[in-house]
A and B are shown apart, each in its own frame.
Chain A
Amino acid sequence: MASKPVLTPKLIVRTLLFGAIVIALAVLPALIDSYTLRIATGALMWAGLACAWNIVGGYAGYISFGHSAFFGIGAYTTAILMQSNIGASFFVTLLPAILLSIAVAVVIGGPTMRLRGAYFAIATWAFAEMLMQLVTVLDFTGGTAGLSLPAYLNEFFFYYIMLIASAASFIGVWLLIERSRFGFRIKALRDDEPAAESLGIRTNLVKVQSFALSAAITALFGSIYAYWTTYIDPHSVMGPEITDQMVVMVLLGGLGTVWGPALGAVLLWITNRYIWSTFGDTVIYLPVLGIIIALVVLFLPNGLISLIVGRQRGKELISRILGKL
């Protein structure tokens, strides 16, 4: 924006902080063992996914329960193109995966985003379930048996790919939503749709744009995930648990904030892995997610980030806690 100075002290501090985090994450693999590296790779992936969901769920105010569809589209596109009869290399498959997810997002996003609130949530959920059922009955997706990908056993490669994709998503979302007109349009849309419309914002266009952006990022991580795990089936990449985690991570961290989704994602992912290593199974993780979301809604509707960033309630809470020490 022309009226804003390009470099404010706050912005410089933020950029330096972000750079420092990225550099720290870049040298991290040299310091940890391979098991921890896998956890860190997963954390980066979920941070990126939460960031993607936040575009539609947090900034535009449309709670989507269908993002597993895009994750699956990415994963399946990569898996199908890498099958031995086509034999595309991994990086070549990323572009079709992203383009296909954008195409689907534009086609279904337009009509679906005319629906509001719970109707939108139901419609996206129905769409995702429908797509999962479709993948289950089709032949070239491998049906319920799923698909195997050529194995590439280089944990460092996947860590850095996830780091690049995640950092790019965060920078992209920050630039597009916090620093551009597009961001103002999205937020206007969330806060008061008729008012935004009356100001000449083409709300339908903005909705589809944000949905497509979110879908593209989600599909990108789906592609990387498929190559990383080397085996996918309808449930592992399109199951409702994918969306569930994205939703809970963003709600926990803070809807519609830049850092909230990353915070929520990293915390929940580490909790997930901790439960997995302690109880030998992640089944108990689902009820934990459920409890967390219910408690967040009841006591912390602005998410964990409101405890850190200078929101009024966060400040009060912190001063109360500090006062007791």
Chain B
Amino acid sequence: MDLFLQTLVNGILIGGILICLTIGFQLTFGVLHVIDFAVGGWTMLGGYTAYWLVTLAGIDPFISIFLVFALFLLIGRGLGPLIYHVRTSRYARPDLMALAFTFGIFLFMRGGALWLWSYNSRSVDSVLSGQFLSLGPVTIPLMRLSAFILAMMFSLGLFILLYRSRFGMAVRALAQNHDHAGLMGVDVKRVSAWVYGIYTALTASAGVLIATIYSVNPSVGIRYTLFAFFVAVLAGLGSVGGVLVAGLALGLLEAYVATYIGARYSLLIVFGTLYLVLLVAPKGVLGRGI
């Protein structure tokens, strides 16, 4: 029973980070109708940036996460117009071309990371490393708890931005219909670019949190791309609310498989479940739309 409870807590804590990882991805799909294959790449780069900041400048990851957020907000804002251009181009299949484009960006990131940092895993330490909080039978590493709280703060911040600001209103209008939003005076291209920026910033921040808990290496990109797909597909692509449940579900699935079946089977079962979910309910289980 203790083990069960401990796994439950682990799963929830990881689920929180997966929510932060996927929520921006969902927003991008809802607004730009682009499935960004580079999502795991942003996670990876966020983790490596935190690693650099901590080794070169000695900045604690829980502070550097805000620097990473700002940096990737600008990078994503810069790249956004290109994505928008491809998605709205007059190619025969702009959706597949956008997919191929983000796939190219992903390859670039993955290969660039391999080239810069080789295959070695890097982990990021913080002042909280190695400290634990005991709650009855359950031990919670403070690192995971603070990562979870930060991830929730970022996600909550996105919800406030979406539903309590003029910008959020514009974003939701775009999710409904680009043309109509444009006619109402929304600068479609600019808002789309900012959405892409917010998405990359959120995903890279999740990467910082992941680096503090596990480690980063160039192959985590593929793993988290598929994890993001998993959460997004389970939630229903474009559904921001469904991510809350789906993220927790994936966190719990991974934790329980790792505890009771064996860690080396966890990816097999996670990817197998993703495949089955896609076949059974490609439009998502938990809702749709923004």
Contact = CB atoms under 8 A, between A and B. Distances in A.
Interface string B74-110: 0000000010011001010101110111011111111
A122 B86 contact: no
Interface string A114-149: 110111011101110110011011000000000000
Contact of A293 (B104, B268, B282): B104
Given A133-B268, A137-B265, A247 B99 contact: no
Contacts of B282: 114-115, 119
A111 interface: yes
B112 A112 contact: no
B100 A286 contact: no
B70 interface: no
Nearest to B233: A122
B267 interface: yes
A267 B101 CA distance: 20
B271 A244 contact: no
B111 A289 contact: yes
B67 interface: no
A126 B103 CA distance: 15
A126 B107 CA distance: 17
A303 B126 CA distance: 48
Contacts of A123: 275, 278-279
A122 B100 contact: no
| Majority secondary structure, B binding face | helix
Contacts of A129: 222, 226, 267, 271
Interface string B230-247: 100100000000000000
Given A61-B96, A287-B108, A293 B278 contact: no
B100 A293 contact: yes
B229 A288 contact: no
Contact of B226 (A125, A251, A286, A296): A125
B58 interface: no
A248 B108 CA distance: 12
| Majority secondary structure, A binding face | helix
A288 B275 CA distance: 30
Contacts of A122: 35, 229, 233, 274, 278
Nearest to B85: A298
B34 to A, nearest CB: 9
B231 to A, nearest CB: 12
B182 interface: no
Contact of A294 (B101, B230, B267, B272): B101
A112 B97 CA distance: 20
A160 B271 CA distance: 38
Nearest to B276: A126
Given A118-B95, A293-B100, A127 B275 contact: yes
B114 interface: yes
A205 interface: no
Nearest to B41: A290
Q: Which 8 A-B pairs have the closest CB atoms?
A: A286-B111, A290-B108, A293-B104, A290-B107, A133-B268, A287-B111, A294-B104, A130-B271
Interface of B: 35, 37, 82, 85-86, 89, 91, 93, 95-97, 99-101, 103-112, 114-115, 118, 222, 226, 229-230, 233, 264-265, 267-268, 271-272, 274-275, 278-279, 282
Contact of A133 (B93, B104, B271): B271
Given A283-B115, A286-B107, A290-B104, A126 B274 contact: yes
Interface in A294-325: 294, 296-298, 301
15 contacts: A114-B279, A114-B282, A117-B95, A117-B96, A118-B99, A122-B229, A126-B230, A127-B275, A129-B226, A136-B268, A137-B268, A286-B108, A287-B111, A290-B112, A293-B100
B107 A289 contact: yes
Nearest to A281: B115
B226 A284 contact: no
Contact of A291 (B104, B230, B233): B104
A240 interface: yes
Contacts of B222: 129, 240
A129 B86 CA distance: 28
Contacts of A63: 96, 99-100
A206 interface: no
Contacts of B107: 244, 248, 286-287, 289-290, 293
Contacts of B271: 126-127, 129-130, 133
Nearest to A297: B101
A292 interface: yes
Nearest to B104: A293
Contacts of B265: 133, 137
A265 B168 CA distance: 45
B101 A286 contact: no
A130 B105 contact: no
B101 to A, nearest CB: 4
A122 B222 CA distance: 12
B103 A136 contact: no
B260 to A, nearest CB: 16
B264 A136 contact: yes
Contacts of A114: 279, 282
A121 B278 contact: no
